[in-house]
Structure 1
Amino acid sequence: MHTLTRSSIILSRNYNIFTARHVFFAGDLQDSLPGFLKTAQSYAHTQQYHHWQTLKPFFNKRIYYNLITTTEMLKYCDTLVYYWTKNKREANFQLKNILSLLPIGSDIFIVGENRSGVRGAKKMMQNYLNLKKIDSRCRCSLYQGTLQLNPSFNENSFWNQYQIGSIILKSFPGVFGFSGLDAGSQLLISTFKNNMHGKVLDIGCGTGVISAFLLSISPQVDLTLTDIHAAAIASSKATLLANCFPGKVYSSNLYSNVYDRFHMIISNPPFHSGLKTNLDIAYKLIQDAPKFLYRNGELRIVANSFLPYPKILDDTFGNHQIIVNNQSFKVYRSIKI
């Protein structure tokens, strides 16, 4: 995360704008520029635990990781720099949260890659500020405006709820599975049997859908759910609560906060970082899994059929099996010998 994203490159070209400002950075903070861009004082908020880990050495106590931005976080700030997220609903949630708290007259900067939909920021925020493009480079755009009206913000109005069979799913914007059950997770769920038991770790839990289905047929399973996304943590907790299911839910960058061993690790691992394909997360999930499994413990993951996971599974475990597959996805199982 030391290589600058295109969004940070365009911000660094305009560094002189920020030198006398008290800047609040938020949104998709994928690199360390917010930590070393020269300002009068910098603060940051992220919903992504791994971004918090990267930026914490630069900010100390002036960076916050949680779902919601609060008045206390913003009380010294006169400028917002928002890195546009690839999810429009998530951007709307985060921007309305922050703009509802900043004083009228605050300067607002929004930056993002054009293909991420950043052009839509002008229309989305038109009732609160008049954004104008002030720079464009590397297929990125930087917009500036002055806050004219505080939007109303109620986090509860952003919940999405839907039901699959008897299971209630709850989700905030930006969480994988927000609108419904994806085909990969559905295939993974189809491999679960009644009366499974033992300790199970669900990595990248999202809405909590995979764990909820497992608990619905095997209520004796001892489940732990982790994710890097604060909105996913809140969503999984709400899903378990709505179904009266037990389970421990907490933030972790893969295994960074995991201190236990399990009989099974389950996951539908991401293969994108922002807008780019990136297999590093899935590879690390696989390579480190044996440290967190009991002997004869199992890693079970679902992946797009074209992804090259068999070799890394064999290199790590010495074995792999395809439990089920279709035209698009495969469910792999590897056993710690």
Structure 2
Amino acid sequence: MSTLSNPSQVLVRNIELFEQQRVLVAGFSDDNFINELYEAGASQVTAFGLDYHNHKHVTKTLKHDNAKIQFGAYFENPQQHKWQQLILYWPKAKQRALYLLANLLPHLETNAEIYFVGDNKSGVKSAAKLISDFCDKPVKVDSARHCALFRTEYTKAAPNFDKNQWLKTYQIQAADLTVNVTSLPGVFSHGELDLGTELLLENLGHLKMKRTLDFGCGCGVIGTYIGLKRPGIPLELVDIDALALESTRLTLAANGVEGKVYPSDGLSDIKGKIATIVSNPPFHTGIKTDYKVPEQFMSTAPQHLMDGGQLRIVANSFLRYEPILKQYFATTESIIENSKFKILSAKT
């Protein structure tokens, strides 16, 4: 993405606010704002994000060695700097906003300035209620591009971040096995087994004892179930979201299952050939059905599969994935379908 996102444009309109400041940026977009922030005179910049696509883009285009980019579930501040300013791109999920604030507020100076920016539909206007224990009432600084920018001051110290307060642990009955699950806020199917994944686990078929990938792993239920069902299977689990990856690591550990967990932007970070890819792939951009993401996934999957390799996915019944699969795979098959979901298999 070469142009600035709408929230970044609003920030650039007010870039003078960040001159000669040590600035912490959270939830940043896949654009050039971090470079613009540094070039406008910020004395020190660290950007912390949960989205691997955005992280890869910003890291690749970063022009300044002194600007630091972090991707992960927990913010790291090895030099124990206290930051003068925080810019938070407001996420649509309220629990994610609270999680980011819990991570970052303890690293701010007393009376540090906090700026919230976000789309008007993102819930950024609700920030006042969420931060009232630690900050003054936010004041609107600017409004443009259907976005708003608010400012407040950090007046009361927040407690040190405790990840255990954010973890949700529970058990699910997946087909014929019990799986212990740990998940962090905003991860798909947080707190329960969704019906689509349940149908997929009941209809995995025979899995070869070869390299198997859980794509878009969420909290790791699919991959963990496979590891329990087929002990010793070479298992890999990928996602674009840092909290999903951390949830997956914890879920695997809770069940004594071994697997390689790592971030991937689509399938672009997968090296070598896979025997089986299993997934409950995302199909939303915001609240709208968007075929671009699943089509990108399905069109590139054959490049990563061995000869005779299989892609097995679950999809909502209304989604028209069959024509896409037939375009890129040698054979396709509908395994089972009910009123809400269907299981599709495609082989190279």
Retained in 2: the 8 A contact 1:196–1:220? no
Aligned residue runs from structure 1 range 1-337, under 5 A: 1-37=1-37, 38-41=40-43, 42-56=45-59, 57-58=61-62, 60=65, 62-72=68-78, 75=81, 77-130=83-136, 131-152=138-159, 153-165=161-173, 166-193=178-205, 197-274=209-286, 277-336=289-348
Retained in 2: the 8 A contact 1:27–1:91? no
Normalising to structure 2: TM-score of the pair?
0.89
| Aligned partner of residue 267 in structure 2, secondary structure | coil
Q: Percent identity?
A: 34
Deviations 1:296-323 (A, max 9, x none): 1101112223333222211111432221
Letter in 1 for 2:155: Q
Q: Higher mean Cα deviation, 28-37 or 175-184?
A: 28-37
| Aligned partner of residue 306 in structure 2, secondary structure | strand
Deviations 1:314-336 (A, max 9, x none): 11114322212222322221100
Retained in 1: the 8 A contact 2:208–2:275? no
Deviations 1:99-143 (A, max 9, x none): 111111211001112222222211110011122222233332211
Q: 1:31 to 1:190 in 2, by over 3 A?
A: farther
Retained in 1: the 8 A contact 2:239–2:264? yes
Letter in 2 for 1:282: P
Retained in 1: the 8 A contact 2:30–2:55? no
Q: 1:192 to 1:178 in 2, by over 3 A?
A: same
Give the Cα–Cα distance (whole angstroms) in 2 for the partners of residues 121 and 214 of structure 1.
41
Retained in 1: the 8 A contact 2:84–2:113? yes
Aligned length: 336
Normalising to structure 1: TM-score of the pair?
0.92
Deviations 1:138-178 (A, max 9, x none): 33221100111221121121101111132110011121121
Deviations 1:218-254 (A, max 9, x none): 2243211111212111111110110111211112222
Retained in 2: the 8 A contact 1:49–1:65? yes
Q: 1:185 to 1:31 in 2, by over 3 A?
A: farther
Give the Cα–Cα distance (whole angstroms) in 2 for the partners of residues 275 and 106 of structure 1.
35
Q: 1:306 to 1:94 in 2, by over 3 A?
A: same
Tell me how far 1:73 sits from its aligned partner: 7.0
Deviations 1:180-224 (A, max 9, x none): 112222222121246753221111111001112222322243211
| Aligned partner of residue 54 in structure 2, secondary structure | helix
| Aligned partner of residue 55 in structure 1, secondary structure | helix
Tell me how far 1:278 sits from its aligned partner: 3.6
| Aligned partner of residue 105 in structure 1, secondary structure | strand
Letter in 2 for 1:119: K
C-alpha RMSD of matched pairs (Å): 2.1
Retained in 2: the 8 A contact 1:22–1:39? no
Q: 1:332 to 1:14 in 2, by over 3 A?
A: same
Give the Cα–Cα distance (whole angstroms) in 1 for the partners of residues 79 and 198 of structure 2.
40
Q: 1:79 to 1:171 in 2, by over 3 A?
A: same
| Structure 2: unaligned runs, 5 residues or longer | none
Letter in 2 for 1:62: K
Q: 1:3 to 1:306 in 2, by over 3 A?
A: farther
| Structure 1: unaligned runs, 5 residues or longer | none
Q: Higher mean Cα deviation, 158-167 or 280-289?
A: 280-289
Deviations 1:10-43 (A, max 9, x none): 2232223223433221125343323324342432
Letter in 2 for 1:147: Y
Give the Cα–Cα distance (whole angstroms) in 2 for the partners of residues 194 and 291 of structure 1.
22
